A and B are shown apart, each in its own frame.
Chain A
């Protein structure tokens, strides 16, 4: 049985600084201060930690490029926008261990010599924003922010409320939103590490990513590598929902078979799951033995995304599910580029026809064709992945895997 790391305070959350310290908190930050920024980043790099927000970029590499940037003004941003359907692990992470998340933010800010740290919390997560605000105040009062900034200055932390749109979780749109503009993604390059928030070098990380950091710094890079698989070191949080007896957030080392997670959540006799959230893929029982790792998912043209798993029984019409996903993307597209603005609408219209069972017969071919246009030509990840689930459903249908 895996001993919990990220969720170790789940049964008795540490909601004030005293109890966080009493249960071993801030050992990571203390060590980081002792060994310095460069060494801290080296440990994170060596641990093999990659971003848990969906893109899977190596965290240490991100931090190193900001740390070594020439511009003295640089920012650390915590992405707590979490707006993908079926994803709620960041919320639980904040609820049960806000100081662990903040310790991660402080270590990250220290590691890149951030002049300011921004915490961008999904608009609906009022409670979590308030909690983080209160905890950050407590840390400031207790002197924890002293000396973290450049040349020994204190770090300033700012909490921002999200713009209420899924697209604001995309890093460049999130920057625009903090800057006070419409949340529209920008092209990359330039990457955030070079020109991010206010066009300054910026490290942006997901909540779960930074929650890993204190333990990595305290226990060393080899500790994370002792968990998981060689190419996916460490642990992952999964948000499980749908036709299961025990929906919730689960923490497991990478490499755990999907079936084990389904058993833990009390899933029985499923038709399929949607793995990786709205931008993920449908996975059918024949693949339930797959290990949950980045490499195993990739081999099957699937994705772990941010770790969302929605389960569907045999009564579910998966085309109806696809129609809901299509509606989500059409609604959440920022509207900036043609392939996504018009494409998500056309996709949704075709999915509606298929779900209602009154398609013209040409929808399936057209969906594939459209998918290629959106994937290739959209500006950002939203349009590029808005048809991933649909494609996987079409493949499954061709193999005769659909129940209804």
Chain B
């Protein structure tokens, strides 16, 4: 292939293609690489720095999710600097966030040997927002990965209801200008919820069930169906409680050619109306 070239990863040759990121190559080579903010259908925010690698010729480490592979690049993922930086990122996050609904984050932290008690100090207190019928926002859990901002913005939804406001430790996700979702441009597609990696954004149903201690993943079957609201043909995954027959959540597969995991309010939350009507 004309656009294929070689790069070195931890001393081993690997093939890369023009346009690929270093992370794309690492994944294909099955080099385990922690990531938090990057998402297959969103512009890399390069904000979490979990995926940093050492690149020969670069003084600082580089985010592999964003940096495009170039012929002859020499990448190291196994150096002490890389390990220390990645572990540090997780230790810093553990020192500020409630990760109780972020199992992927917790698992990656553990496999990197991150010590949750390494850093102490003020935790991230951005508050709990319960201002609409469809989902809640618990920003104490937010790691500011920018995924929701991008999903709501140019990458998917083009609604621009969400922004980042404030600086430094005080930076946080803000809806509209006043902070209230119903007063913002939000159309309640729930696509921000779908990409949130920490459970900071959570469907109301899931949140209530969890609060009541009734959220039991092992009881849920996933039923595939096609959304019937319009003719686009979005694929839905209905998460159905096999005992009560309740739909607890609706998602769409991230690899689906039409939706890429994204839906509109009818597809994602229509079940709430369906069930509300049936009651």
Best-buried of B66, B93, B119, B122 by chain A (most CB within 10 Å): B119
A342 and B171 contacting across the interface, CB-CB below 8 Å: no
For A330, list chain B residues within 8 Å (CB). 168-169
Is A21 an interface residue, CB under 8 A from the partner?
no
- When C-beta atoms are compared, the residue in chain A nearest to B90 turns out to be A338
B86 CB to nearest chain A CB (Å): 8
Using a CB-CB cutoff of 8 Å, which residues 65-111 of chain B contact chain A? 66-67, 81, 84-86, 88-89, 92-93, 95-96
Stretch at the interface among A1-9, A64-72, A119-127, A371-379: A371-379
Contact of B88 (CB < 8 Å), options: A331, A349, A373, A384: A373
Contact of A341 (CB < 8 Å), options: B119, B120, B169: B169
A379 and B46 contacting across the interface, CB-CB below 8 Å: yes
A334 and B88 contacting across the interface, CB-CB below 8 Å: no
Is A343 an interface residue, CB under 8 A from the partner?
yes
A263 CB to nearest chain B CB (Å): 35
A391 CB to nearest chain B CB (Å): 15
Q: How many contacts A-B (CB < 8 Å)?
A: 113
B48 and A341 contacting across the interface, CB-CB below 8 Å: no
B168 and A345 contacting across the interface, CB-CB below 8 Å: yes
Best-buried of B84, B169, B170 by chain A (most CB within 10 Å): B169
How many angstroms between the C-alpha atoms of A278 and B141 in the bound complex?
32
Best-buried of A330, A346, A349 by chain B (most CB within 10 Å): A346
A378 and B89 contacting across the interface, CB-CB below 8 Å: no
- When C-beta atoms are compared, the residue in chain A nearest to B121 turns out to be A349
B89 and A346 contacting across the interface, CB-CB below 8 Å: no
A339 and B85 contacting across the interface, CB-CB below 8 Å: yes
B98 CB to nearest chain A CB (Å): 14
B119 and A331 contacting across the interface, CB-CB below 8 Å: no
- When C-beta atoms are compared, the residue in chain B nearest to A374 turns out to be B88
Is A59 an interface residue, CB under 8 A from the partner?
no
Using a CB-CB cutoff of 8 Å, which residues 113-168 of chain B contact chain A? 118-122, 143-144, 163-164, 166-168
Is A182 an interface residue, CB under 8 A from the partner?
yes
Is A399 an interface residue, CB under 8 A from the partner?
no
B89 and A339 contacting across the interface, CB-CB below 8 Å: yes
Main secondary structure of the interface of A (DSSP, over half): helix
- When C-beta atoms are compared, the residue in chain B nearest to A342 turns out to be B92
For A365-402 the 0/1 string (1 means CB < 8 A from B) is: 01001101101111100001000000000000000000
Is A333 an interface residue, CB under 8 A from the partner?
yes
Is A344 an interface residue, CB under 8 A from the partner?
yes
Contact of A331 (CB < 8 Å), options: B67, B92, B167: B167
Decide: A349 near B167, CB < 8 A? Known: A342-B93, A373-B88. Answer: no
A346 and B121 contacting across the interface, CB-CB below 8 Å: yes
How many angstroms between the C-alpha atoms of A248 and B93 in the bound complex?
42
Is A36 an interface residue, CB under 8 A from the partner?
no
How many angstroms between the C-alpha atoms of A346 and B118 in the bound complex?
11
- When C-beta atoms are compared, the residue in chain A nearest to B124 turns out to be A342
Is A357 an interface residue, CB under 8 A from the partner?
no
For A370, list chain B residues within 8 Å (CB). 88, 119
Is A187 an interface residue, CB under 8 A from the partner?
yes
Using a CB-CB cutoff of 8 Å, which residues 165-192 of chain A contact chain B? 165, 167, 182, 187
B61 and A343 contacting across the interface, CB-CB below 8 Å: no
Q: What's the tally of chain B residues with a CB closer than 8 Å to chain A?
A: 37
B92 and A333 contacting across the interface, CB-CB below 8 Å: no
B168 and A344 contacting across the interface, CB-CB below 8 Å: yes
Decide: A335 near B61, CB < 8 A? Known: A341-B144, A373-B88. Answer: no
For A318-360 the 0/1 string (1 means CB < 8 A from B) is: 0000000000001111111111011111100100000000000
B122 and A335 contacting across the interface, CB-CB below 8 Å: no
A190 CB to nearest chain B CB (Å): 10
How many angstroms between the C-alpha atoms of A165 and B166 in the bound complex?
11
Using a CB-CB cutoff of 8 Å, which residues 246-266 of chain A contact chain B? none
B88 and A339 contacting across the interface, CB-CB below 8 Å: yes
B94 CB to nearest chain A CB (Å): 10
A345 CB to nearest chain B CB (Å): 4
Best-buried of A339, A342, A372, A384 by chain B (most CB within 10 Å): A342
Is B236 an interface residue, CB under 8 A from the partner?
no
Is B268 an interface residue, CB under 8 A from the partner?
no
- When C-beta atoms are compared, the residue in chain A nearest to B87 turns out to be A373
How many angstroms between the C-alpha atoms of A334 and B170 in the bound complex?
9
> Can you spell out 17 A-B residue pairs with CB atoms less than 8 angstroms apart?
A182-B164, A332-B168, A334-B167, A336-B47, A336-B144, A336-B171, A339-B92, A341-B144, A341-B171, A342-B95, A346-B121, A369-B84, A373-B85, A373-B88, A373-B89, A376-B60, A376-B84
A: residues with CB less than 8 A from B are 165, 167, 182, 187, 330-339, 341-346, 349, 366, 369-370, 372-373, 375-379, 384
B: residues with CB less than 8 A from A are 46-50, 52, 60-63, 66-67, 81, 84-86, 88-89, 92-93, 95-96, 118-122, 143-144, 163-164, 166-171
- Other A-B contacts than A349-B120, A372-B88, 20 sampled, CB-CB below 8 A, are A165-B167, A182-B163, A187-B66, A331-B167, A332-B167, A333-B167, A333-B168, A338-B47, A339-B49, A341-B171, A345-B122, A370-B88, A372-B84, A372-B85, A373-B89, A373-B92, A376-B85, A377-B61, A377-B85, A379-B47
